[in-house]
Every structure is written in C-alpha cells, then in structure tokens.
Structure 1
C-alpha cells in the first residue's frame, strides 16, 4: 500500500531525492504495519470484545497518515486526518459484514483476513483524498 501511494504521487514527494522518499516511506510503513498488527492482536487476546480492533484500525490509519504527511504533504491536514480516521473506523464493520454474508464473489473475502483488504482500500482512499483535496 505504501509503495502504491508513493509511486502514484511521485511528483508530489517533498524530498529532493524521490527514490529516497519512496524507500523511506516504504520501510517506515512496513515497520508501522507490523507494530500496529502485533499490538492489536496481542491486546485483543487480553481484552474481550471488538473495541480493540476499532482502536487498532484507527491508530494504524492515523500513524500511516502522519507518516505519509511527512513525505507527501496533505493540503488540508486536519480535515484529511478526520476523513482517514472515519474511513478506518468503518473498516471493521464492513469486513465483519462481508465475512458473515455468504458471497461467492472473491474467495479471499470470506475469511477474517478481509479486514486488511478493506482497511487498505478505505485508508488508501482517504490518503488519496488528503493528498489531492
């Protein structure tokens, strides 16, 4: 996801050496993903309920937006952050609905791993709105 955000907005990268900006964004995003992923699932084992998944989705999206803002500045930072946060909060209900509804459209969307696909799609849409708004 970070690579697609960086490459599609190559001309807007704020660092003079564009390839360095892409590598920086990619490496920091991978670290951010694993930290958020493991923190969310570690806390979900200790805390009952799905509240931690909402917090994990929002926290990961906010951190990804802040990281992206360093390399690809948002035109309206606070409104972009609000849009990204709202889109990340609706990821878990949409992913749960897709999981519980018997669809035979795409087999990968049947399992619980569909949360990552929905999250990347909606947060990526929010990032694109933030960059180009």
Structure 2
C-alpha cells in the first residue's frame, strides 16, 4: 500500500503567526492561523482536515460493507464534526460526530444500522482516532 503524505509550515509565534498545510498529492493547500483554529477566523485547521478524512473514510467503509452484503448504495454522504475543547493540559479532540445520509435500495433499517455501526468501528481513520500509538522523529536542522 502507498504511504500518504502531507506537510505543514508555521511561521512566527502564537497567536500572531500563520501557516500553510498541503496534501502531498497537491489536491489541497490551505492557510491556517490561531484564529482559524481556536476562533472563527478565515482559513482551515487540523481538525477540519481530520473531519474530512474521517467523513471520507467512513463513507467508503460503509459503501464497501453494503456492497459486500449485496446492496448497491447509490450514495453515502457523511459530515464529521470534530470537537476541539480546552482542558487543563491544553486542548484535545473530545469527540467526533459522524452524520450520514445514505441512499441504499432494498435494505431494511436493522441491517442498515448494523452495517453503519460496523463501518464506524472498522474504518481505518476511526481506528487511529480511537487511540493510536504515535511515534515521533524530530530533527533539528540548521
């Protein structure tokens, strides 16, 4: 499987500084700032990108689970709301709400809910957000 990359650069101190984030594929590059992350300022933020990744992953996983069971989903649309909250030690992502609308002919409600729950638990982004070991390699460059 390919390794996916993204990069970010921050310039300056908080809260005056600013930065950019970009996907390795070149499909997205966006500015971010203290204001766009912790207030309602213009720009993107890491939590928004996490939400996009989670919504995309869940939608694909759910579609795959439906297909595996013989259903043909016409659409699976998901919105992920990522809650960034202040705690004593700083900030943390406390929860993510997945809100999904799917058009799946021929499925009953019980099976639909069962497969949705399985996709929520099984998509790779859900797994990593549930508590992954995080490894860090940090190099000081002159």
- TM-score, structure 1 normalization: 0.33
Higher-helix-fraction structure: 1
- TM-score, structure 2 normalization: 0.32
The structure with the larger Rg is 2
Higher-strand-fraction structure: 2
